[in-house]
Amino acid sequence: MDRFMKAALDEARQGLAEGGIPIGSVLVHEGTIVGRGHNRRVQNGSAVLHAEMDALENAGRLPASVYRQSVLYTTLSPCAMCSGAVLLYGIPKVVIGENLTFMGEEALLRLRGVELDLLQDEECIALMRGFIEARPELWNEDIGVP
């Protein structure tokens, strides 16, 4: 596992330790993490703070040129909202820890020219499987399932 996915996984573990959903993300520009975050919907009572959104928020306001030269790392396949942010800001590449527990909008991202690198990392898979088994109601809430 490279250091950026490890940083995203560390974020996911932090989210779980806080009582939240264990998904983490980092935004990398020219080999440097410029934003990091984890799912904070539970902790902040938020409707939108998925890990990718938190990483973008924590990166702060950046010029469009920075987004267009960045890579977003996320432990889980990005949902429609987070994929929309990738497209809006023109992030050209997303490295995905796994998509076995949740398949996000990968087809849309590929269709719109975003390069995807899918790792199927065992640690990412085990973390999400364990969480979904332990807290199915919270997981369903996060992905919009009644």
CA count, 13 A, side-chain hemisphere, 44:
13
Q: Is 52 a catalytic site residue?
A: yes
SS3 119: coil
Query: Which residue has 């920075």 as its token pair?
Result: 66
SS3 14: helix
Pick the catalytic residue from 11, 18, 52, 122.
Answer: 52
Tell me how far apart the alpha carbons of residues 115 and 42 are, in angstroms, rounded to a whole number: 30
Q: At CA 1, angle to CA 76 and CA 37, rounded to 5?
A: 45
Distance of CA 27 to the CA centre of its chain: 10
Put residue 113 in one of left, alpha, beta given phi > 0 → left and psi -120 to 50 → alpha: left
Catalytic residues: 52
